[in-house]
Amino acid sequence: MQVEGAGHPLKLTGAARAGALCGAGCAPSGRLKGVPSRRRPLDPKPGTTRPDDGRPQAQTHTHTVTDFEAEVLPGLEPFAVAELKGVAGVQQVRVEEGAVGFRFVGNPAKLVHLRTVVAVYQTLHFAVPRPRALLGHEHLSRLREAVATLGSRQAFKSFRLSAAGSDSAVFVRLTEVLSQETGLPHVPDEGELLVRVRRAQTGAGWEVLLRLTPRPLSSRPWRVCNLAGGLNAALAAVMLRLADVREGERVFNPMCGSGTLLIEQGLVSPARLVGCDLNPAALACSLQNAQAAGLTSVELFEADATATGLESESVDVIVTDPPWGDAVGSHTGNAALYPALLGEFARVATSGGRLVLLTHELRLLERVLAAQSSWEVLQQFRVFHGGHHPHVYLLIKR
């Protein structure tokens, strides 16, 4: 999993910030000359509100309806929709492969806490026939103001532009102008503010998408240690939602790797978390990530996942992504590994225990499931992950 960017963020506030972004094109107030302010007035009444992080906030903004799009791993769209619909202010949800569009009324800061999506973008629609028209004063001013507003919520120190034909003269010029107007340097591969330009998904015109955060939401801040073949955190969040972990249940993650599944569970609801791995380096990596996430009660131990040493019927939920036989393990080795895993999982799971498993060894797993009687498949679906299309299985112990 890639962690984008490093360095010291640029944070400006008020008129100083607007002046830095606009340059000579700003009125003394920091507003663009000739362009009405899009900022809503603050509530004149005294009082405080408590935002999501619990810190008091002296004033409240009046928010307008804004278009957004969530980037989603293909196959996880239904889970992203379900999570979005649980956020107050989300309206008019529409689904495409790998993306969920919606309108939102409220503080966009609420959207950066979504767990089942890769990233969230503000979507700006421009009724122009070609990208060159975005260089016009009216459209450029609108884009500059959107970047300034976004920058007032997140500290960006650079940007990058993504578009089909991004090396064309038009996009090269647009990149230069955006850098001049916003004061942000263009860093092609590592730029924090991701600006995407594309044809309108519906109707005529073009769209500019601005990512709300310097890093993808699926690039969790607790991830201070990475291992090859690591699990995408958004996919881990979905697997745990399938598991439907209840308070006080014991959750076991064999072959825990860098600890993604355990940490994702520990951050959303209380549970007894247990993980094992044969590789001491993986256990050390899991521990580092758990500590970075503020989790202090994760139980980690070195063991073979086919002979864990756990007591029989001692865990309520098992979540795992065993080797697929490409980057980790081999197909020959998996032919013996998978039957042994399901047997051990059946031994340690309670009656009615749930098993959520991610694999690309589809034919092998189907053969193993057909030859056993301990596990019943409740749900199965395909997802795109790591260049493959593995399946997620939800099973229950008979």
Q: Give the separation between CA 133 and CA 141, rounded to whole angstroms.
A: 12
Q: What is the mean pLDDT of the chain?
A: 87
Which secondary-structure segment (H or E) carries 158? none
Tokens of 189: 């591969």
Which secondary-structure segment (H or E) carries 131? none
Q: Give the separation between CA 63 and CA 105, rounded to whole angstroms.
A: 6
Position 1, amino acid:
M
Distance of CA 116 to the CA centre of its chain: 6
Q: Could you tell me if 113 and 52 are in contact, meaning their C-beta atoms sit under 8 angstroms apart?
A: yes
Q: Could you tell me if 75 and 51 are in contact, meaning their C-beta atoms sit under 8 angstroms apart?
A: no
| pLDDT (tens digit per residue) in 92-108 | 999 999 999 999 999 99
Q: Could you tell me if 128 and 206 are in contact, meaning their C-beta atoms sit under 8 angstroms apart?
A: yes
C-alpha dihedral sign at 273, 274, 276, 282: positive
pTM of the model: 0.82
| pLDDT (tens digit per residue) in 236-247 | 999 999 999 999
Which secondary-structure segment (H or E) carries 70? strand 65-71
Of the two residues 136 and 12, the one the predictor is more confident about is: 136
* Residue 28 CA: distances (Å) to CA of 14, 32, 151, 341: 11, 9, 20, 68
The pLDDT assigned to 327 comes to 66
**Residue 38 above 60 pLDDT?**
no
CA-based nearest residue to 350, from 255, 246, 201: 246
In the CATH hierarchy, which top-level class contains the domain 61-211?
Answer: alpha beta
In the CATH hierarchy, which top-level class contains the domain 233-397?
Answer: alpha beta
| pLDDT (tens digit per residue) in 186-244 | 999 999 999 999 999 888 999 999 999 999 999 999 999 999 888 999 999 999 999 99
| pLDDT (tens digit per residue) in 323-361 | 998 767 788 999 999 999 999 999 999 999 999 999 999
pLDDT cut 70: percent of the chain above it: 84
Tokens of 246: 């209840």
Bridge pairing between strands 119-126 and 99-105:
unpaired
Tokens of 277: 């791995």
| pLDDT (tens digit per residue) in 276-302 | 999 999 999 999 999 999 999 999 999
Owner of token pair 């310097």: 214
Q: Give the separation between CA 75 and CA 235, rounded to whole angstroms.
A: 10
Domains in the chain: boundaries: 61-211, 233-397
Q: Give the separation between CA 183 and CA 22, rounded to whole angstroms.
A: 8
Q: Give the separation between CA 5 and CA 111, rounded to whole angstroms.
A: 21
